[in-house]
Amino acid sequence: MATIRSRIRGTGRALPEQILTNFDLEKIVDTSDEWITTRTGIKERHISEADEYLSPFCAQASKQALEAAGIEAKDLDLIIIATVTPDQPIPATACFVQDLIGAGRAACFDMQAGCSGFIYGLSIADNFLRTGTARHALIIGGELLSKYVDWKDRATCVIFADGVGAVVLSAEEGERGILSSALHADGSMSDFITCPGGGSKIPVSHEMIDNNLHTIKMRGNETFKIAVRSLEAVCREAIERAGMTPHDVRWFVPHQANVRIISAVAGRLGWPEETIYLNIARIGNTSSASIPIALDELVRAGKIKEKDILLFAAFGAGLTWGSCLVRW
């Protein structure tokens, strides 16, 4: 029987127009362009305006991905948005996006796995497609993290940014598409990256906001060390599952969290600079959006050739981590 695989047929991205540079940040918190550049690799990032929210950006990226795929919104069976920054707690932002793009047949839900959300979403959709439950799926990684950042906390506000990336995935016979994925989590480190308030544990209240529990907190240095080890292992896992070696990978498209993490992982796997796709200097850390944004840049720049092997890998709040190997 022919193998059914989930192939990425189209990609898209949407970023707020406003750009915040490291020099702008020097005026907001006690930091410097030099510190941010050397510690993270970030030079500037896109930040949404006060009246902007997630779903219109998701719709914009989705329309681009659908057009590139040559698929109409009404043919979508499934819309998944990986996000920690939805439009509102109820309902799912995926339902707003369904309405904005006219995808009336699609089942819709949001899910979150921190910065690993896009990889988790891709893997969920892959399972729907390979079992025949859906033929065409839209997977969006979208975040407006600037809305959840503490603009007085220099350890986080210089890192996180806003943006959306989307892909259209279709079930097809053949060798192209998702070859393997690997997903992991360790909830015993849930306090490494957290936004403690606003849920059922600490509901919204004046006191919660006075105590600043509605913003993101991160134990950056501890997260850094675990990220490098876990990413290396999960990259190897997806590669081995597909019966390949690190040498087979043409493009490593990692979550853009920190250039030092990415370089360390690439070094351990023996990948030269030209294998790694980096846009963190311009885009910052957009959590679940960073991989589909990077992928869309690569695709639209014409850098990926048919049958190239791509590896996506991410690490984030949860803690969660995962990877996905694709034959283009």
Q: Which residues are catalytic?
A: 115, 255, 285
Decide if 199 contacts 31 (C-beta within 8 A): no
By the rule CB under 6 A, 261 interacts with ligand COA: yes
155 binds ligand COA (CB under 6 A): yes
Q: Are 315 and 257 in contact (CB under 8 A)?
A: yes
Cβ atoms of 322 and 314 closer than 8 Å: yes
Q: Which two tokens stand for residue 56?
A: 């219109």
Which of 39, 130, 214, 241 contacts ligand COA by CB under 6 A?
39
**Alpha-carbon distance 321 to 59, whole Å?**
27
326 binds ligand COA (CB under 6 A): no
- Torsion from C-alpha of 174, 177, 100, 87, nearest 10 degrees: 150
CA distance 202 to 210: 13
Q: Which of 84, 182, 227, 311 binds ligand COA (CB under 6 A)?
A: 227
Q: Is residue 258 a contact residue for ligand COA (CB under 6 A)? A: yes
158 near ligand COA, rule: CB under 6 A: yes
Binders of ligand COA in range 176-215 (CB under 6 A): 193
List the one residue out of 10, 14, 30 whose CA is nearest residue 22.
30
Indicate the residue among 261 and 283 with the shorter CB distance to ligand COA. Answer: 261
Residue count of the chain: 328
Site for ligand COA, residues 62 to 101, rule: CB under 6 A: none
Q: Per rule CB under 6 A, is residue 115 in the interface with ligand COA?
A: yes
DSSP code per residue over 145-197: GGGT--TT-HHHHTTB-EEEEEEEEEEEESS-EEEEEEEEE-GGGTTSEE--S
Coil vs helix vs strand at 290: helix
* Residue choice 11, 60, 85, 223 for contact with ligand COA (CB under 6 A): 223
Q: Which stretch binds ligand COA (CB under 6 A): 30-38, 164-172, 176-184, 233-241?
A: 30-38
Q: Which stretch binds ligand COA (CB under 6 A): 61-69, 142-150, 164-172, 218-226?
A: 218-226
Q: Give the footprint of ligand COA on this chain (CB under 6 A).
A: 31, 35-36, 39-40, 115, 154-155, 158-159, 193, 220-221, 223-224, 227, 257-258, 261, 285, 315-316
